[in-house]
Amino acid sequence: MMDGEEGEGGPNSQGDGNPKESSPFINSRDLDQSQQYDGKTMALFEEEMDTSPMVSSLLSSLANYSNLPTGSKEHEEAENNEEGPRPSKKPVKAPQLGTLMGVYLPCIQNIFGVILFLRMTWMVGIGGVLGSFIIVFMCCSTTMLTAISMSAIATNGVVPAGGSYYMISRSLGPEFGGAVGICFYLGTTFAGAMYILGCIEILLIYIVPQMAIFKIEGLEGPEAELALLNNMRVYGTIVLSFMSLVVFVGVKYVNKLALAFLACVILSIVAVYAGVIKTAIDPPVFPVCLLGNRTLLSKGYDVCAKVVEVDNETVTTKLWRTFCDSDTLNATCDEYFADNDVTEIQGIPGVTSGILAENLFGNYLEKGMFLEKRGVASEVNADAPPTNSNRYVLSDITSFFTLLVGIYFPSVTGIMAGSNRSGDLRDAQKSIPIGTIAAITTTSIVYMSTVVLFGACIEGVVLRDKFGEGVSGNLVIGTLAWPSPWVIVFGSFFSTCGAGLQSLTGAPRLLQAISRDGIIPFLRVFGHGKANGEPTWALLLTACICEIGIIIASLDAVAPILSMFFLMCYMFVNLACALQTLLRTPNWRPRFKFYHWALSFLGMSLCLSLMFICSWYYAIVAMGIATCIYKYIEFCGAEKEWGDGIRGISLSAARFALMRLEEGPPHTKNWRPQILVLASVDAEQNVEQPRLLSLANQLKAGKGLTIVGTSVQGTFLDNYAEAQRADQSLRKLMETEKVKGFSQVVISSNLRDGTSHLIQVGGLGGLKHNTVLVSWPRNWKHPEHHQQFRNFIEVVRETTVASLALLVPKNISSYPSNGERFTEGHIDVWWIVHDGGMLMLLPFLLRQHKVWRKCKMRIFTVAQMDDNSIQMKKDLITFLYHLRIDAAVEVVEMHDGDISAYTYEKTLIMEQRSQILKQMHLTKNEMEREIQSITDSSRGSIRRKNPPAPRSRHSVDGGAGVAEQPEDEVQLIHSKNASTPTSPVGPGAAAGPNAPAGEREKAKAPAPANPEAGKDLFNMKPEWEHLSPVDVRRMHTAMRLNEVIVKKSKEAKLVLLNMPGPPKNRVGNENYMEFLEVLTEGLNRVLLVRGGGREVITIYS
């Protein structure tokens, strides 16, 4: 929207400096504040007066609201002060133009143009009356259907400057609007080039051929053609420079001349109809000379005869001398000249002559072919090559039906002239539909009638004579005009000049409107102009692009180019109307009622068909340009919310897809992790574990659903602003980490319930998460963080109940960011229990991301005493082959070894700590002292039993500090990413793989089956007899597995591991965390995985 577009709602400017496009709604502050409080009878609404003004004081602004641009006539007075604050507005003069002057006549002037005068007769001669009528009818139907759609859009509110660009951008969004706006701009610019070329063609061929710089006389074939094109280039550049200067000096001169140019057009058309009427009464004398059936150049003869009688003596003519080697009667002549007679026919036999039947069907020609009259005998030696071709009228281009469509279509463009002037109209919503449709009806009738009348009045060879070379160099349509051919020549000359000026006036303003909308960043410089608003820079660019058309120099080559751009523009106008109608958006209330979505779709289909009919390669190029602009705006352009129809389509499509998803769960082949990331925020509402989002991005690679959720403690009324800040923080981090998904913040009285709510209600319909990603609770052994592991275990329980998969990355701060790259290494999968294939699928998904792409996958599985490890390996290799997953396979044999003394000691310490903390309700200081005493005694016990394992003294130090609170005080508090070194536990710590083999052996108990033997051997404490056998076995399993995993996967970049299930009752929470800690001890990056209870990977296609 242009910067000058400012009405009553002008001060309510958006962030990009553009005024609001809606009416001055509730938040309008234009009114004097004192007026809002005058009504003492409305005390009930007093508190809302500052944001909701009284209707009585607002109605005047609403009724007289004019968010209109200054029209082209007011551009001389327009202000351009976009950089700074706007000064007080000048009163805008009330628009006075009605339907006739404001819409009808401008449309007539823009539609009638150069093609009618320079190419219409040639098109009828080449395509025939029937073929040309079909072309005209098709093109006129397209513009009529487009006008109906445009009328609906234009009467659905205010349409400021930019015309079709504004309509499309506000209906289909900034991406489509920008793409089609640029296409419309290019079409208008190339139209300017076409009009200038037409102007030069009329000047150099029909008015003053002597002005040619590159002389055509004496040149033949390609040389003559090149000379003509060079003349067009030189004079075209001169005329373009002059017109650009006129537009730069002042638009008011162009506007004042517009009516004079329009008068020339109307006068010329009236002269044609007068000439047609005259042919019925007295056909004009326009002889055409034929040799056999070939049309001769009029400049090649003086008399249409081989010889003439002068004083009873036969004398050869100029024509004889042209074809023979001398002027004597016995001279050697051209074979075709000798075999065929010379005849003279009337070029315009008249409307009553019946010539229509001969011109009914097409006569398409190859380049260089002779223009031949149908039905005339001709003696041609098929074996002899054609000679003296330059003596005949030849076809200058190869013609075919689709070429005619491309050349003709520009003559029906210009239907947007009325909607572009909506700011100047007294009643735009009434004038635009009536004026535009009336103008198209008028021009369509003229075009269709002239097709028939040209075919009925003019000889076929004359119609096909594009430049009038067979009729003494006259403009063919001029030969028909009355009273003189010069009426048409000068009328069409001034008409093309005016149309060229209009194009050079309108195109820069269109570019300025697009630039000031700010949707295409690199075009913003073209939004600036002179102090009075004239788009200087845009005019300069327009002139440069127009020069490209001038360099092409051929009217027939430029016309299809602008046909493409206009057709694309019209196609999207129809699409916009159809979409708005089908979506039934509440704001779609056009005053023009005579539209239907089916008509719009028909118009859109016609436009698309005509694009490919005209030129399939130009159509592809035009679509490519539009697509590039679309993608550029999508990725780099300013984000705009214009309430466009594409958003409506997105909503409808999303609803339809969600309803389809409700039909049932996805098939295993379509299963992918739809992740709910449970993030935590600190007191400043910043995300504490940004690497969680990095991992989510690496797992998803932009596919599927990702929801990043967090919970804020408090009440909705008190903490809403805090929740908004948290949501912004999530969105910002998601954008940084390139996570495509949604953020969700829940406010709850405690964090535990908030997390539960996220798990329960995340997603919508069938688009729900099936996987939860939550980080391992950091420092869970410290007393101040004891709530974390309780909340964590509750999450594990809830995901199990909800049949959701669970991913728990341990040491999340050490995970790679999206910018890192592993050039080598392994992703190790420890497949201990079957979880539906999650452990197989996750590494495959990770390796799709560039961070993990170079890592190789290894799969380890554990064989017990009764298992055949060799057969297990073969079966696993076969299974992976069927899954199409490349991975190295290893089966690790883990026999039932002895339970070590350290295992018993570790289990005892774990249970003692748990029991003591449950029985004592202590203050924090007392609790810490009690824990310290337990820790000291534990250290002494371990020191006595395991002197060779010095690291084991730290195994309890970090894990002893766990207290318990009542259940209603449990909260989920995720800590920051900085991970402290966890306490080494298990045999890998007491006597790890790096310790001497002897020390590892000493850490084992040789006979676990008999407790008495164990006590005698190790001098065990009597309390060990009372340990839970289940806990001892679990600790033993954790330690043995950890020892094997550390041995095999110590150097792995990532270890994926089955996560054991949580205890069924809450009594064993602390023990569960200890088991997991022991299981993952000594590993840098561990991803604990729990399946969701369903198969997620299949061998079938």
Q: Give the DSSP per-residue string, 855-914.
A: -EEEEEEEE-TTS-HHHHHHHHHHHHHHHT---EEEEEE----PPPHHHHHHHHHHHHHH
Letter string b/e over residues 38-70, b meaning 16 or more CB atoms within 10 A of that residue's CB: eeeeeeeeeeebeeebbeeebeebeeeeebbbb
Give percent of the chain with pLDDT exceeding 70: 77
CA distance 970 to 755: 12
User: What pLDDT sits at residue 1017?
Assistant: 37
Two structure tokens written together for 265: 């057009």
- For 101, phi then psi, to 5°, come to -80, -30
- Whether 1006 shows a pLDDT value over 60: the answer reads no
Residues, the chain:
1101
- Whether 922 shows a pLDDT value over 60: the answer reads no
User: What pLDDT sits at residue 167?
Assistant: 73
| Residue in the block written with tokens 């339970």 | 899
User: What pLDDT sits at residue 18?
Assistant: 44
Q: Which of 255 and 678 is assigned the larger pLDDT? A: 678
- Whether 961 shows a pLDDT value over 70: the answer reads no
Q: What's the whole-model pTM score?
A: 0.69
- Whether 902 shows a pLDDT value over 80: the answer reads no
DSSP per residue over 232-260, as a string? HHHHHHHHHHHHHHHHHH-HHHHHHHHHH
- How many C-beta neighbours within 10 Å does residue 330 have? 7
User: What pLDDT sits at residue 908?
Assistant: 61
DSSP per residue over 324-346, as a string? BSSSSTT--B-HHHHHS-EEEEE
Cβ contact 979:811 at 8 Å: yes
Sign of CA dihedral 614, 616, 617, 621: positive
Cβ contact 267:112 at 8 Å: no
Please give the C-alpha separations between residue 693 and each of 508, 772, 773, 809, 843, in angstroms, as whole numbers.
46, 12, 9, 12, 17
For residue 744, list its beta bridge partners: 709
Residue 135 amino acid letter = I
- Whether 429 shows a pLDDT value over 70: the answer reads yes
User: What pLDDT sits at residue 8?
Assistant: 36
Long-range Cβ pairs for the range 240-247 (8 Å, 24+): 240/192, 240/193, 240/196, 240/543, 240/546, 240/547, 240/550, 241/543, 243/192, 243/196, 243/497, 243/500, 243/501, 243/504, 244/504, 244/539, 244/542, 244/543, 246/501, 247/501, 247/504, 247/505, 247/508, 247/539
Rama region for 999: left / alpha / beta (φ>0; ψ in -120 to 50; rest): alpha
CA proximity to 533, closest of 515, 546, 520: 515
Cβ contact 279:348 at 8 Å: yes
Query: What is the pLDDT averaged over residues 355-371?
Result: 89
User: Which DSSP symbol is given to 296?
Assistant: B
- Whether 1063 shows a pLDDT value over 60: the answer reads yes
User: What pLDDT sits at residue 681?
Assistant: 85
| Residue in the block written with tokens 């002008």 | 10
User: What pLDDT sits at residue 190?
Assistant: 92
pLDDT in tens, 668-703: 766 778 889 998 888 888 888 888 888 888 887 557
| 1086-1090 vs 805-810, strand pairing mode | antiparallel
CA distance 901 to 1001: 11
Q: Which residues contact 761 (CB under 8 A, 6 or more apart)?
A: none
- Whether 533 shows a pLDDT value over 80: the answer reads no
> What SS3 state is found at 77?
coil
CA distance 751 to 973: 7
**pLDDT confidence of 149, banded at 50, 70, 90?**
very high
Most confident option among 58-62, 514-518, 548-552, 783-787: 548-552
Q: Which residues contact 985 (CB under 8 A, 6 or more apart)?
A: 906, 952, 955, 959, 1039, 1074, 1077, 1078, 1081
Query: What is the pLDDT averaged over residues 314-318?
Result: 84
DSSP per residue over 585-639, as a string? -TT---S-----HHHHHHHHHHHHHHHHHH-HHHHHHHHHHHHHHHHHHHHHSPP
- Whether 518 shows a pLDDT value over 60: the answer reads yes
User: What pLDDT sits at residue 520?
Assistant: 84
Cβ contact 1084:982 at 8 Å: no
- Whether 284 shows a pLDDT value over 50: the answer reads yes
Rama region for 639: left / alpha / beta (φ>0; ψ in -120 to 50; rest): beta
CA distance 950 to 246: 94
CA distance 854 to 816: 14
User: What pLDDT sits at residue 769?
Assistant: 86
pLDDT in tens, 204-216: 888 888 888 888 7
pLDDT in tens, 713-757: 889 989 899 999 999 989 998 888 888 888 999 999 888 898 899
Cβ contact 1073:791 at 8 Å: no
**pLDDT confidence of 608, banded at 50, 70, 90?**
very high
SS3 per-residue string spanning 655-717: HHHHHHHCCCCCCHHHCCCCEEEECCECCCCCECCHHHHHHHHHHHCCCCCEEEEEEEECCHH
Terminus-to-terminus CA distance in the chain, angstroms? 53
- Whether 920 shows a pLDDT value over 60: the answer reads no
CA distance 20 to 580: 21
Lowest mean pLDDT among 139-143, 776-780, 864-868: 864-868
DSSP per residue over 791-818, as a string? HHHHHHHHHHHTT-EEEEEESGGGSPPT
Q: Considering the chain, what is the average pLDDT of its residues?
A: 77
User: What pLDDT sits at residue 274?
Assistant: 93
Peptide bond into 483 cis (omega under 30): yes
**pLDDT confidence of 914, banded at 50, 70, 90?**
low
To 5 degrees, how large is the angle CA 227–CA 294–CA 487?
60
User: What pLDDT sits at residue 574?
Assistant: 92
CA distance 1086 to 594: 67
Cβ contact 948:991 at 8 Å: yes
SS3 per-residue string spanning 536-560: HHHHHHHHHHHHHHHHHCCHHHHHH
Query: What is the pLDDT averaged over residues 926-941?
Result: 53
Two structure tokens written together for 254: 């162009």
CA proximity to 225, closest of 554, 473, 550: 554
**pLDDT confidence of 347, banded at 50, 70, 90?**
confident
Q: Which residues contact 866 (CB under 8 A, 6 or more apart)?
A: none
Give percent of the chain with pLDDT exceeding 90: 16
| 313-316 vs 307-310, strand pairing mode | antiparallel
**pLDDT confidence of 1101, banded at 50, 70, 90?**
low
> What SS3 state is found at 44?
helix
pLDDT in tens, 647-660: 777 788 888 888 87
Q: Which of 997 and 554 is assigned the larger pLDDT? A: 554
